[in-house]
Amino acid sequence: MSQDQAQVLSRGTNFAVVQLSGRAFPGIHLQGDTFAALLVQLADAARLLRHDPGGRAALDELDDVVGELERFLGFYEATLSERGIQRPY
């Protein structure tokens, strides 16, 4: 097992912005259950789109996931800004 170090720059509810040693930019750490829930939502949306391409249910699922990812990204960007770190994109 590796003994790499990581610095937690900021914590959210189910995620954190983490700087791994040797990496130029921080990353976003998601709790496993949060990641799994997002994956289930995306898989459900894909299944719904295959059966009903114009269906509203699939778009609602996708909108929920996009909203959650936007929240993570906003938190990430705010953390970088607070620490004077430029975005990697």
Give the Cα separation of 38 and 85 in Å (integer).
28
pTM of the shown model = 0.88
Name the burial class of residue 52, with classes exposed (0-12), middle (13-18) and buried (19+) by CB atoms within 10 angstroms of its CB. exposed
User: At 89, which amino acid appears?
Assistant: Y
In the chain, the amino acid numbered 68 is E
Which region, left, alpha or beta, applies to residue 23 given φ > 0 means left and ψ of -120 to 50 means alpha? beta
Could you read off the pLDDT of 7-66 as tens digits, one per residue?
999 999 999 999 999 999 999 999 999 999 999 999 999 999 999 988 899 999 999 999
Residue among 72, 10, 9, 11 nearest 38 (CA): 72
User: For residue 80, what are the CA distances in angstroms to 71, 83, 85?
Assistant: 14, 5, 5
